[in-house]
Structure 1
């Protein structure tokens, strides 16, 4: 792989989600780059319009160019248009956020959503994020469609993350994760509370094709105080139906 390209992508990924920006030395240190190389990469990315530097703090942050490109790409992905009516109906029935993620090579990406909550307290994150497999209902649902060996390989490839990147109930060992995975397989759905973010719960079901291969995941998400396990269980059939309908619609277009 081209070294300059891989370094540039590493900088972009590190800046993702940093609304206040990141200092040059932090970037250089964390990415194990010489300060001069980090500065040169940032200068190139600024020239291409992907990065801005704050004139006061001198911190670097991503511009909206990547967002624009992502939205333009997603608007042309047929699966998004196919899935939206089913997600909208699911969100309205449940009164919570319905989301869909698709498997892109080895990553699960949240690409579409519909907000059904009428409450002031709601959960509504951006699409386009990579799904952490080890600490989300979506990750459990996806891996539940695989055998243990394949699921562990996917888990190890992505890793377990650190304590600052997960909720207080997230599994911290492979054994804990595999126990949750076994439960998801037995139930034919995955439910998590306070694993991805503290105070957030989710219910998820995999989207599988006619051969049983996982294509993605449909899930419902809401505040744990409102979307507890008992409440989530009342929506299992709705989520499973949405996953089946999206799968059928996709198979029809292939």
Structure 2
């Protein structure tokens, strides 16, 4: 059969199965077969292989398949090798405590930014849709604009052209010329804003962080409901986040 002769195709199908289960949770064989557009016998072989390797388990009562915590173990091992998390952690905890809001740490990942750490607000908390390991496009996020602002214009345009630009909210900027105006404003002010461009009701202020290579491959943000993020308060938070940026980068070098 084709999937036993082409190792690349087999790998692709295995990872698509893992991604499908990660996105949807527990699924039955027929559900997976339909979602993956593969026949049930092929999906069954893939699932059996993943079960043998402890990446998937099957509920004996519902017969549905779901990912095991072994996947979480892999992600934790990857994150544990990122020294920026260890360096930044005490400072973003302090920033969250002082601001009373949720603070994120992200890393550049191609045309996206990936959340690698998060400190939830300790009080007045509104839970954000963000989670460690989740990616967010650069073009519609404060952290993304903060990172992009440190890049040459040609590089920004290249990333823009590779991105799937879509109107996520009524505030999402979808014209490149308008986006570059925001980048210029970020460069002038030293921080970036997300004005409900990715999630309605949430505003963010963000700054880039330089890694060991001297390039801005990280960023931190303060996120809060828009009723707690007036322009006047953003000016107060600006001082906090710029101070945190200086503290973190001083410990990197």
Length-normalised TM-score, structure 2:
0.81
Cα drift, residue 111 of structure 1? 0.9
Confirm or deny: 8 A CA contact 1:83 1:246 kept in the other structure: yes
CA distance in 2, matches of 1:141, 1:123: 20
C-alpha RMSD over aligned residues = 2.9
Partner of 2:116: 111
Cα drift, residue 203 of structure 1? 0.8
Using a 3 Å threshold, how does the CA distance of structure 1 residues 51 and 135 change in structure 2: closer, same or farther?
farther
Using a 3 Å threshold, how does the CA distance of structure 1 residues 106 and 193 change in structure 2: closer, same or farther?
closer
Q: Secondary structure at the match of 2:222?
A: strand
Aligned residues: 245
Structure 1: segments with no counterpart, 5+ residues: none
Using a 3 Å threshold, how does the CA distance of structure 1 residues 155 and 44 change in structure 2: closer, same or farther?
farther
Partner of 1:230: 232
Return 237-246 or 59-68, whichever deviates more: 59-68
Confirm or deny: 8 A CA contact 2:211 2:218 kept in the other structure: no
Partner of 2:4: none
Structure 2: segments with no counterpart, 5+ residues: 1-6
1:11 equivalent in alignment to 2:25: no
Cα drift, residue 149 of structure 1? 1.4
Cα drift, residue 87 of structure 1? 0.4
Return 35-44 or 65-74, whichever deviates more: 35-44
Query: What does 1:46-57 correspond to in 2, within 5 Å?
Result: 46-53=51-58
CA distance in 1, matches of 2:50, 2:61: 19
CA distance in 1, matches of 2:43, 2:214: 45
CA distance in 1, matches of 2:190, 2:152: 14
Cα drift, residue 216 of structure 1? 0.5
1:84 equivalent in alignment to 2:89: yes
Using a 3 Å threshold, how does the CA distance of structure 1 residues 210 and 50 change in structure 2: closer, same or farther?
closer
Confirm or deny: 8 A CA contact 2:105 2:118 kept in the other structure: yes
Q: Could you say which structure has the larger radius of gyration? A: 2
